[in-house]
């Protein structure tokens, strides 16, 4: 071990002598310059061979990370974790975890966010001290709001005695996690390698225990760069995943009785499912009750072509319901009440005597400052438990709670429910029809063309700025849709789609994303990451040359203030000059098509792009589109 490590490092030091190793030569030549980031006049020389550290702490850190099974570390590099990065690459062989080069920390985290939703497990990210974590922050907030696990590592030198003067002080911090503590599940700043090993295992476990969320472990720079002492004493703790909790059996029986006796039961599912198994269970429950299901969409919860799928009728269903079962709903109050915009007038949407059951772990993970818990919603039966884990018991309880006469009444509901489902689907198709040949292209047409292209594939829409896909396409698989950003912080779309596409890459699932032009411009560098790491992704830019949502907000305000509306474009449009997204993509080695104004050109451009995706690379198609 020691000898291998010595050879590896000798190679790096000696690389300048090798004519063939051009990149290594540059690396070696640049080595003093890296130190010069803070010590430009220090005249430091590279360490002499007798000072070489054969087994740095960061090698052990890599052993720990490998033991979690994390396959990737997405990161923008920084000297605070340079030793860890070098160990990942040279000691770990850059495999499991593999270092993914990101052009912004926010993109690293959003990429990990999209990846985790598809892979069903987290990836790591590494952020450079204060500045890296500040860049990462909004994406961490999105993952927190979405209850998605991300394992963050931060570089930092805690010991002031060893910090190099200058930049290292700017980038170090007494408490790295303070910035993110309001929206992470847990953090730690280990001061020994044993402490690091235990904290990574604990952090991974906490991140992946529902309700899931991001955690942050500091990888101290001194600990990483210094030699491992007394390795025999180090113990790598075993990682045991927590089994998600079922709701209390008495409460589940009570809920089943309420549902079996209901005339108009409705199921609202949000962050309920973690897998296809979860979807199967909701179908089983819904069929046992003939209860329509509105999939709120935090996760893929229900097949869109099932006769009980009524997501678009959610409001009217809630209005008529006598019993509503919520499954891990992020905004319970908002399902039963509204505040109008722009007048902020309150209205209740449901009957006053509606009975509400909520199966959720929401209350087990709250912090006081950020308001992602949404407004307080009184319910009749609050069951603390994991929705997916509780469903099997609930299904059994419903079956045994249903009397003969109730069974007959439930079965009688089927015909009308099938008609209602058909009506809902007809309505969407009618809404989608106008403007088929319009220029700029209608979003419904783009959606239909895309579906034609992927309908015979296993497909995943990782991100979509338009609703048509979910409303129009038959989607039966858990991997078809992965929900949204959680916190609606813009800049999520492109990197999250790249992360999702990475997780889908080896499963033969084609990943597509439909990005708002505004959203894409927060993190266009993720296109380069996709090209560099050969991540196949078909990205469509829904290019309305605007932050169109904000255009509409300004129009609303102008109308409220009874003023002119034509100024709503100021500060909200992205034109003059127009951005050429195809060229943007091409500049980063991504196949780029567009801008497409003629709807007839969408199909051929998508086909060309798909051919690129099929050979394992990303492609982008810029479609100039109507507002939303």
Where on the chain is the footprint of ligand TPP (CB under 6 A)?
138, 465, 488-491, 516-519, 544, 546-550, 628
Q: Which is nearer to ligand TPP, 337 or 549 (CB)?
A: 549
Q: Dig out the tokens for 571 from the structure.
A: 């500060």
In whole angstroms, how close is the CB of 622 to ligand TPP at the nearest point?
12
Q: Which is nearer to ligand TPP, 298 or 486 (CB)?
A: 486
List all residues 6 or more positions away from 150 whose beta carbon is below 8 Å from its beta carbon: 109, 112, 113, 116, 122, 123, 125, 140, 143, 207, 214, 215
Residue for token pair 């090209």: 531
Q: In this chain, which stretch among 320-328, 518-526, 554-562, 594-602 interacts with Mg ion, using CB under 5 A?
A: 518-526
In whole angstroms, how close is the CB of 528 to Mg ion at the nearest point?
21
User: Which residue in the set 265, 518, 536, 599 belongs to the binding site for Mg ion (CB under 5 A)?
Assistant: 518
In whole angstroms, how close is the CB of 126 to ligand TPP at the nearest point?
23
Q: How many CA atoms lie within 13 A of 52 on its CB side?
A: 17
Among Mg ion, ligand TPP, none, partner that 13 touches (CB below 5 to 8 angstroms by kind): none
Q: Is residue 493 close enough to count as binding Mg ion by CB under 5 A?
A: no
Return the SS3 of 426: helix
Q: Which is nearer to ligand TPP, 386 or 517 (CB)?
A: 517
Residues facing residue 358 across a β-bridge: 326, 382
In whole angstroms, how close is the CB of 569 to ligand TPP at the nearest point?
12
Among Mg ion, ligand TPP, none, partner that 490 touches (CB below 5 to 8 angstroms by kind): ligand TPP
In whole angstroms, how close is the CB of 467 to Mg ion at the nearest point?
15
H-run or E-run covering 106: helix 105-119
In angstroms, rounded to a whole number, what is the distance separating the alpha carbons of residues 217 and 126? 10
Among ligand TPP, Mg ion, none, partner that 310 touches (CB below 5 to 8 angstroms by kind): none
Q: Is residue 98 close enough to count as binding Mg ion by CB under 5 A?
A: no
Q: Is residue 213 close enough to count as binding Mg ion by CB under 5 A?
A: no
Q: Is residue 385 close enough to count as binding Mg ion by CB under 5 A?
A: no
Distance set, CA 77 to CA 61, 73, 112, 475 (Å): 17, 11, 16, 39
Residue nearest to ligand TPP (CB): 516
In whole angstroms, how close is the CB of 138 to ligand TPP at the nearest point?
6
In whole angstroms, how close is the CB of 504 to ligand TPP at the nearest point?
23
Q: How many CA atoms lie within 13 A of 402 on its CB side?
A: 22
Q: Which is nearer to Mg ion, 493 or 518 (CB)?
A: 518
H-run or E-run covering 155: strand 151-156
Among ligand TPP, Mg ion, none, partner that 9 touches (CB below 5 to 8 angstroms by kind): none
H-run or E-run covering 611: helix 602-614
Around Cβ 620, how many Cβ atoms within 10 Å?
29
Q: Which is nearer to ligand TPP, 500 or 509 (CB)?
A: 500
In angstroms, rounded to a whole number, what is the distance separating the alpha carbons of residues 608 and 621? 10
Q: How many CA atoms lie within 13 A of 613 on its CB side?
A: 30
What is the footprint of Mg ion within residues 522-551 (CB under 5 A)?
544, 546, 548
Among 499, 518, 571, 522, CA closest to 135 = 522
Among ligand TPP, Mg ion, none, partner that 499 touches (CB below 5 to 8 angstroms by kind): none
Q: What is the DSSP-derived secondary structure letter of residue 568?
A: G
Q: In this chain, which stretch among 106-114, 283-291, 481-489, 508-516 interacts with Mg ion, using CB under 5 A?
A: 508-516
- Spatial contact of 283 and 302, defined as CB atoms under 8 Å apart: yes
Where on the chain is the footprint of Mg ion (CB under 5 A)?
A: 516-518, 544, 546, 548
């Amino acid at each position: 071990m020691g000898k291998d490590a010595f050879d590896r490092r000798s190679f790096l030091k000696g690389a300048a002598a090798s004519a063939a190793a051009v990149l290594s030569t540059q690396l070696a030549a640049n080595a003093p310059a890296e130190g010069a980031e803070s010590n430009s006049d220090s005249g430091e020389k590279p360490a002499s061979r007798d000072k070489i550290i054969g087994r740095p702490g960061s090698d052990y850190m890599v052993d720990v990370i490998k033991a979690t099974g994390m396959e990737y570390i997405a990161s923008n590099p920084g000297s605070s974790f340079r030793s860890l990065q070098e160990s990942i690459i040279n000691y770990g062989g850059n495999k499991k975890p593999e270092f993914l080069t990101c052009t912004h920390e926010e993109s690293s985290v959003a990429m990990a966010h999209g990846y985790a939703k598809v892979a069903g497990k987290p990836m790591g990210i590494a952020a450079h001290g204060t500045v890296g974590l500040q860049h990462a922050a909004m994406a961490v907030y999105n993952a927190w709001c979405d209850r998605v696990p991300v394992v963050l590592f931060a570089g930092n030198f805690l010991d002031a005695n060893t910090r190099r003067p200058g930049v290292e002080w700017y980038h170090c911090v007494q408490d790295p996690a303070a910035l993110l503590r309001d929206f992470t599940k847990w953090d730690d700043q280990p001061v020994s390698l044993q402490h690091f090993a235990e904290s990574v295992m604990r952090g991974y476990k906490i991140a992946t225990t529902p309700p899931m969320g991001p955690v942050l472990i500091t990888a101290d720079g001194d600990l990483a760069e210094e030699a491992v002492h007394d390795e025999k004493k180090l113990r790598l703790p075993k990682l045991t995943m927590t089994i998600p909790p079922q709701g209390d059996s008495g409460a589940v029986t009570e809920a089943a009785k309420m549902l079996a006796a209901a005339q108009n039961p409705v199921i609202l599912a949000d962050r309920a499912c973690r897998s296809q198994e979860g979807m199967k269970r909701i179908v089983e429950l819904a069929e046992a009750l003939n209860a329509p299901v509105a999939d709120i969409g935090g996760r893929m919860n229900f097949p869109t072509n099932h006769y009980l799928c009524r997501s678009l009728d959610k409001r009217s269903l809630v209005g008529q319901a006598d019993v509503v079962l919520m499954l891990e709903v992020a905004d319970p109050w908002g399902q039963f009440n509204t505040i109008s915009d722009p007048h902020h007038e309150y209205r209740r949407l449901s009957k006053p005597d509606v009975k509400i059951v909520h199966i959720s772990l929401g209350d087990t993970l709250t912090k006081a400052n950020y308001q992602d818990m949404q407004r307080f919603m009184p319910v009749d039966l609050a069951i603390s438990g994991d929705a997916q884990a509780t469903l099997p018991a609930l299904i059994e309880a419903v079956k045994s709670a249903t009397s003969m006469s109730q069974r007959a009444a439930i079965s009688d509901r089927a015909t009308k429910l099938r008609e209602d489902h058909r009506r809902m689907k007809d309505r969407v198709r009618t809404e989608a029809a106008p403007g088929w040949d319009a220029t700029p292209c209608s979003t419904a047409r783009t959606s239909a063309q895309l579906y034609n292209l992927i309908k015979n594939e296993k497909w995943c829409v990782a991100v979509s700025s338009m609703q048509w896909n979910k409303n129009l396409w038959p989607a039966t698989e858990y991997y078809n849709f992965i929900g949204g950003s959680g916190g609606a912080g813009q800049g999520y779309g492109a990197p999250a789609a790249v992360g999702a596409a990475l997780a889908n890459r080896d499963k033969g699932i084609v990943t597509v994303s439909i990005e708002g032009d505004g959203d894409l411009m927060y993190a266009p560098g993720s296109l380069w990451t996709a090209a560099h790491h050969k991540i196949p992704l078909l990205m469509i830019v829904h290019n309305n040359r605007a932050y169109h949502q904000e255009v509409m907000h300004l129009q609303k305000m102008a109308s409220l203030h009874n003023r002119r509306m034509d100024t709503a474009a100021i500060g909200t449009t992205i034109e003059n000059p127009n951005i050429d997204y195809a060229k943007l993509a091409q500049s980063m080695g991504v196949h780029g098509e567009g801008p497409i104004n003629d709807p007839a050109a969408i199909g051929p451009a998508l086909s060309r792009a798909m051919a690129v995706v099929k050979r394992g690379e990303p492609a982008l198609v810029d479609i100039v589109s109507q507002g939303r």
